[in-house]
Amino acid sequence: MENKNVKPFGFQDKFSYMMGNVGCDLMFFLSSMYLLKFYTDVMGVSAAMVGSMMMIARFVDAFTDVTMGQIVDRAPTKAKGKFAPFIRLVAGPVALASFLMYASWFKDMNMTFKVIWMFATYILWGSIFYTGINIPYGSMASAITDSPKERAELSKWRTLGTQFVIIFVNVILPSLVYYTNDQGQSVLSDTRLTIAAGCFSVAAFVAFMVCYHMTTERVKFETKTEKFDLVGLLKSLVTNKSLLGIVLLSLVSLLGQMSYSNMQSYIYPNYFNNPGLISTTSLLTVVITLVCSLFVVQISDKFGRKNVAIFAAVIQAASFIVLYFLHTDNALIWTIIYEIGAIGMGIFSLITWAMLADVIDDTEVTTGERADGTVYSVYSFARKCGQGFSSGIAGAMLTMVGYTTATAFDPEVVNKIYDVTCLVPAASYVVLVLVIIFLYPLSKKRVESNTAELRRRRAAK
């Protein structure tokens, strides 16, 4: 942070960084919430096939994520910065690819065509273009500021962007894309979802452009020139404890979060026969997260992000365990207990991106190399694995309990849907608590020590 003519960190940085996340999450949450439902209920593809497709795509990500991380680390720093130019380059293609996944005009095509189209568009969107924009965007936080407190602010605003998206995807959209059929059942409208996907793609493109034009990268990093060492990268996953910790933390937390997100489209319309509950619980979750945002930076600054993350994960695990054993059909009881757990989810999501920046700093202190893109690509791959595994598990479980369009409202099937909705997140969050306690090493003291050391090194240069 050498150039004193660069404007100081402020509101514009937080807002522009938030808008980048709005662009990513408009597509990400739409796919997490509706893609499985779209292909099972509209296109007639089996849940197991859709889940398998999402898991197979993660193997492709193993190559594309790491490749993109290397491209980012080796990219020269231009007038706009090192990371922002990628956002402008990929914004259009990723938005178009997202829209093509919801091609309801192909619903009457033969099954082979529909499966091929599903695979092709999902991998094009998620493994290529989404990777191409999300990795440089996520890496950019370290270039906007080197202050742990300011990075916590960026993490908070990034999460606020997520809450803004949730209002559209989970609160407003269900009332627009579901309708009641002649049997009084809540069903997904293919045409309405396709139109919504187009609107979301346009909105995502606009959000990316706001992020690009308003972002200021203050911290300048040297361009990486040495040959890519795959063996060294794999070794670092074992020897770099902070990187290993954040990878496992990300994987299990996304497994819990996304498995519930996938199952929302089944438990509320099918078990409670009330898709409006998606809007109700999601709106309450947004409100809770916004309230948490008022104090999360202060408490993480006082107690350390690791301790706050443990507390948050415990609350999330406890809520789903209680819901499983209650097996309630009372929507009010479900909502109250779920929203108690949402306090933990809100707190955890508000600090998780600052924890990633802490890991990038720790890696530089330990190895002497700055590798924002590579570290973020590994982290991104872990997140996608969590998403893919959750979709794969959800798809497999739905098939195992006998879910089809014909059995979608059978009492035995919907009761098993309830169990799946509770058990997978509960198990994930229990594991998350153990991962943070035993495998994530970055205490408050170590984070502060790393920040001081890196400032000393840069001052020396």
The string of pLDDT tens digits covering residues 270-285 is 899 888 888 899 889 9
What's the CA gap between 23 and 91, in Å, rounded? 9
The domains of the chain are located at: 13-460
DSSP state of 105: G
Is residue 121 predicted with pLDDT exceeding 60? yes
What's the CA gap between 331 and 3, in Å, rounded? 56
Q: Which residue has the higher pLDDT, 182 or 410?
A: 410
Per-residue model confidence (pLDDT) at position 1: 43
Per-residue model confidence (pLDDT) at position 328: 96
- Produce one character per residue of 297-332: b if its CB has 16 or more CB atoms within 10 Å, e if not: bebbeeebbbbbbbbbbbbbbbbbbbbeeeeeeebe
Is residue 3 predicted with pLDDT exceeding 70? no
Per-residue model confidence (pLDDT) at position 278: 84
Is residue 299 predicted with pLDDT exceeding 80? yes
Residue 186: what are its φ and ψ, rounded to 5°? -85, 120
Cβ neighbours around 435 below 10 Å, total: 23
What's the CA gap between 94 and 89, in Å, rounded? 10
In this predicted model, what pLDDT tens digit does every residue of 300-311 receive, in sequence order? 989 999 999 999
What's the CA gap between 283 and 28, in Å, rounded? 18
Is residue 38 predicted with pLDDT exceeding 80? yes
Average pLDDT of span 152-169 = 87
Per-residue model confidence (pLDDT) at position 385: 79
- Lowest-confidence pick of 21-30, 157-166, 180-189, 263-272: 180-189
pLDDT averaged over the chain?
87
Cβ neighbours around 71 below 10 Å, total: 15
Per-residue model confidence (pLDDT) at position 222: 67
Per-residue model confidence (pLDDT) at position 4: 52
Is residue 151 predicted with pLDDT exceeding 60? yes
Which residue bears the tokens 């309450």? 284
Amino acid at 293: S
Residue 242: what are its φ and ψ, rounded to 5°? -70, -40
What's the CA gap between 66 and 347, in Å, rounded? 29
**Dihedral sign from CA coordinates of 172, 177, 181, 184:** negative
Which residue bears the tokens 């005009």? 105
Q: Which residue has the higher pLDDT, 319 or 183?
A: 319
Q: What percent of the chain has pLDDT over 70?
A: 95
- Lowest-confidence pick of 131-145, 197-211, 225-239: 225-239
In this predicted model, what pLDDT tens digit does every residue of 212-261 receive, in sequence order? 999 888 877 766 666 656 566 666 667 788 988 998 998 999 889 888 98
Is residue 98 predicted with pLDDT exceeding 90? yes
Q: Crossing angle for the helix pair 190-214 and 84-100, nearest 10 degrees?
A: 180
88: tokens are 């402008």
**Dihedral sign from CA coordinates of 77, 78, 79, 82:** negative
> Does residue 371 contact residue 240 with C-beta atoms inside 8 Å?
no
pLDDT band at 100 (very low <50, low <70, confident <90, very high): very high
What's the CA gap between 245 and 439, in Å, rounded? 5
Cβ contacts of 306-309, under 8 Å, gap ≥ 24? 306/355, 306/436, 306/440, 306/442, 306/443, 306/444, 307/444, 308/347, 308/351, 309/249, 309/348, 309/351, 309/352, 309/355, 309/436, 309/440
What's the CA gap between 45 and 68, in Å, rounded? 31
Per-residue model confidence (pLDDT) at position 224: 63
What's the CA gap between 354 and 305, in Å, rounded? 8
User: How far from 4 is each of 14, 61, 219, 456, CA to CA, in Å?
Assistant: 20, 40, 12, 18
What's the CA gap between 209 and 211, in Å, rounded? 5
In this predicted model, what pLDDT tens digit does every residue of 405-460 receive, in sequence order? 788 889 999 999 999 999 999 999 999 999 999 999 999 999 999 989 988 987 88
Helices (H) and strands (E) in the chain, counts: 19, 2
Is residue 349 predicted with pLDDT exceeding 50? yes
Per-residue model confidence (pLDDT) at position 334: 95
> Among 181-195, 369-383, 393-407, 427-441, which range has the highest average pLDDT?
427-441
> Does residue 337 contact residue 326 with C-beta atoms inside 8 Å?
yes
Class of the domain covering 13-460: mainly alpha
